[in-house]
């Protein structure tokens, strides 16, 4: 069974984060600049929340708030669901599907060490399956 640790080893080790006092507008600017759809909210080195494009759509636009005047702590998802490096990708997929979320921060010893998205998981699983198929074809043809 493939794990979060194996998936993270294939990704660039970058964590994009801001503080809870950051305005939504500034957070959106970071997300656009980094081409990401979710941003971790840290207090020091501790995870306190996550802000996603979905949060923006549902908690800013639909609530009539303004991006420039609203701090993230008013609209972020506090205490997000997390995974550890030993969790399986099947566990991640089940969690994301059951909870209707697209991003899982990876936490070890109370420290954020990465984040996985549903896209990351699907891409990793497809690549792994391609390798398995190729190996089986090589075995059959030899």
Q: Is 14 left (phi over 0), alpha (psi -120 to 50) or beta?
A: beta
Residues 48-73: tens digit of each pLDDT: 999 999 999 999 988 889 999 999 99
CATH number at residue 122: 3.10.580.10
Domain that holds residue 111: 4-141
Q: With CA atoms as reference, report the closest residue to 53 among 75, 84, 20.
A: 75
CA dihedral sign, ordered 53, 34, 21, 116: positive
Q: How many domains does the chain have?
A: 1
Check if the beta carbon of residue 124 is closer than 8 Å to that of residue 116.
no
Instruction: Give the pLDDT score at 122.
Output: 93
Compute the average pLDDT of residues 111-130. 92
C-alpha 109/C-alpha 123 separation (Å) is 27
C-alpha 142/C-alpha 138 separation (Å) is 6
Instruction: Give the pLDDT score at 37.
Output: 94
Please state whether the predicted TM-score (pTM) of the whole model is above 0.85.
yes
């Amino acid at each position: 069974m493939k794990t979060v640790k194996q998936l993270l080893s294939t990704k660039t080790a970058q964590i994009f984060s801001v503080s809870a006092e950051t305005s939504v507008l500034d957070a959106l600017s970071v997300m656009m600049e980094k081409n990401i759809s979710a941003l971790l909210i840290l207090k020091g080195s501790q995870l306190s929340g996550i802000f996603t494009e979905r949060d923006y759509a549902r908690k800013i636009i639909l609530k009539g708030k303004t991006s420039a005047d609203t701090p993230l702590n008013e609209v972020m998802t506090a205490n997000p669901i997390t995974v550890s490096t030993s969790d399986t990708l099947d566990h991640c997929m089940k969690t994301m599907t059951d909870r209707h979320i697209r991003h899982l921060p990876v936490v070890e010893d109370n420290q954020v060490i990465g984040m996985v998205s549903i896209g990351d998981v699907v891409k990793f699983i497809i690549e792994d399956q391609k390798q398995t198929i190729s190996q089986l074809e090589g075995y059959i043809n030899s």
